Amino acid sequence: MRTVDSTRLSAPQTWRAVFEIVQALALAVIISVVLNLFVVQVTEVRQRSMEATLEQDDRVLVSKIDYRLGSPQRGNIIVFNSPAPESSIPFVKRVIALGGDTVDLRGGSVFVNGQLLAVPQAHGGTLPQAPAIAYPFTVPDGQVFVLGDNRMASSDSRTFGAVPIDNIIGKVILRFWPLDSFAFFEW
């Protein structure tokens, strides 16, 4: 009498198992692409302009939904495509003023609508950078004025002007790398 090895799969069963694995992988790729396009995105901080809030090479999770449901708010840290055509990397900066607000730089300090703006994380003097941007500067509707927290090492709205809201990729909600710097951002 001959025994049959029950652990062996027949050819149709093998192809079915392979098909199910390919199907699961395809579904995972589709879900990942949809999430990346419409919900969240991982971004690497490539500049030093947000130190010490965010360090160069930090990895952050960016919510793309927040500004589909609402508008940017002062204090939000955002990721956006630079309005400067020579830059292809996304920028990470803090929203300082919204459309209709007036920004003034005096004595190394920032004033928004005549009020001194105190950002505890910001350091260094906030000086004008481009002669084409005159202060006081009124932020056009549909745009935001952004600054890096490391004011002396930041190329921001002082250089390239206000950022159109359409250029915003999303709001930074979480720093997950390096692991010892894990932090949620709630503002």
User: Is residue 71 flagged as an active site residue?
Assistant: no
Residue 94 belongs to some domain of the structure: yes
Residue 8 belongs to some domain of the structure: no
* Residue of 63, 82, 93, 154 with catalytic role: 93
What is residue 111's predicted lDDT score, i.e. its pLDDT? 93
Residue 127 belongs to some domain of the structure: yes
In this predicted model, what pLDDT tens digit does every residue of 34-46 receive, in sequence order? 666 666 777 778 8
Strand, helix or coil at 125? coil
* Residue of 49, 63, 82, 157 with catalytic role: 49
Residue 25 belongs to some domain of the structure: no
Residue 109 belongs to some domain of the structure: yes
What is the separation of C-alpha 16 from the centre of its chain, rounded to a whole number of angstroms?
42
Residue 144 belongs to some domain of the structure: yes
Residue 55 belongs to some domain of the structure: yes
User: Is residue 49 flagged as an active site residue?
Assistant: yes
The domain tally of the chain equals: 1
Boundaries of domain holding 164: 41-184
- DSSP assignment of 74-124, as one string? TT-EEEEE-SSTT--SEEEEEEEEETT-EEEEETTEEEETTEEP--TT-BS
Residue-by-residue pLDDT tens, the chain, 187 positions = 555 555 565 667 788 778 778 877 877 777 777 666 666 777 778 887 888 888 788 888 788 877 878 889 998 999 898 877 777 788 899 999 999 999 999 888 899 999 999 888 888 888 878 888 888 999 999 999 999 889 888 888 898 889 999 999 998 887 888 877 777 676 5
**Gap between the Cα atoms of 150 and 54, Å rounded:** 10
Residue 21 belongs to some domain of the structure: no
Mean pLDDT for the chain overall:
82
Provide the CATH number for the domain around residue 53. Answer: 2.10.109.10
In this predicted model, what pLDDT tens digit does every residue of 100-116 receive, in sequence order? 999 999 888 899 999 99
